[in-house]
Structure 1
Amino acid sequence: MTEIAMPAHTGSVQALTVGQVAETFGVTVRTLHHYDEVGLLPPSERTRAGYRLYTSQDLQRLGTIVVYRRLGFALEEIGELLEADGAEVVDHLRRQRDLVRDRLARMTELVDAIEHALEAEMTDRPATTEDLKALFGDGYNEEYQAQAQQRWGDTDKWRQSQQRTEGMTRAQWARVKAETETFESDLGAAVRAGEPVDGDAAATLAERHRASIERFYDCDHEFQVCLAQMYLSDPRFTQHYEDIEPGAAQWLHDAIVANAERHAG
């Protein structure tokens, strides 16, 4: 008979009642009665009144049963295992291991399916503040958002921006982030390459910049120049572009001004 170690605190003990055993092993009294009825765990002793008493050997056997039950074995299989020799037990456990691995694989597939469903559900709903924080990290500043609302909240462009963004999903914001990162990378490359601010490459970047603004509110060339002036007058904007490439704030300002003059002419 093969047995697995029972809980340490049940070592050498006197015979226990069914209630004491149930509490020790975390099983129900009804379960113990059933194990007795099917011959899986008949108690070795009885009181004079006929009540069940479990010896140390019984508790050892119960410990083994509990482990096998947690592994998913049926009671009939457990009975066979308890009476089997070492080689048979190894075969049983190997088969059970394979079954558990298969079950884990199916559960992993189920988790993946749930994740995909959750992602689809979240993609279709408007992004929350938490979504934006997770997506943009330090690039999303609630304090700045509040300051911007205080400064421009009564303007048509602010209201237009709120209308255009209120239903944007996380996926749409992710595209905004990706496009912004691509633009800033190209901006840094143009500055490093010494592209002239009145050249075609600069004009293309200026138009890309204006298009990124128009995603949120109408932005003609005249208003874009106003924004460009802020990139030099507001230290936060200046620092943002300087972090991309030294001189980028001034270069972008000058490129926007030159592009506006080109279109005005």
Structure 2
Amino acid sequence: MMVKEVAELAGISVRTLHHYDEIGLLHPSRTTEAGYRVYTDEDLAKLQQILFFRELGFPLKEIREIVSRPDFNRMEAMELHHKLLLEKRSRLERMIETLEKTMKHEKGEIDMSNREKFAGFDFSTNPYEQEARKRWGDQAVDASKAKLGSLSGDEQKQLKEGMNAIYRKLADLRHTSPASDEAQEAIGEWYKFLNRMGSYSLEAFKGLGQMYVDDERFTRNIDRFGEGLAAFMRDAMSEYADRRK
């Protein structure tokens, strides 16, 4: 199959397939004399596994490392995908059931206890850290925490002031295009700022921006500087990362 056919089949863009080829994640088995990429059934099977990993939140770098291992076993990977997706479905079903009951309670159709209202929620551990560890690995998160822990009170205060200054600058730009030169310059400052505290790849930076919107607590905190800032930062961070890949 040609690259356009594969893109339509998998529901992804041609640009994504080109990017996978460029970073060594998925090379087409053959290239014609005219330079056209040709994908085999084996390539499609590998692409399917890559997309399963993506659905579960794995960064591209980690996916490449996993599928490139000499001992990589496709069936074992599929069994893992199956297990993790079932767990994800179970969590979503519990949340949906709680939401449906809450809606009936609000309409006066049923009585709902306070305990029932929170069925399915579990914030016994830090969800931000869990997500960061899943996406970027323990080493980056531990390094960031160690860096912050080593700072004095004054240094931590200066760090917070620097962070807030960038937020305010981005808030002033949030009604412009995330791809504008001003927005990209400001979001570049944010990327450099984050890397003062830890080590964030471009892919991690892009994923973090998506989390700003997906997790309402991130959104709420960021949008204190201006409504819609979280979504603006997500788009600007995505643009910044894509330009530099």
> Could you say whether these structures have the same fold, taking a TM-score greater than 0.5 normalized by the shorter chain as the test?
no
Bigger-Rg structure (1/2): 1
TM-score norm. by structure 1 comes to 0.41
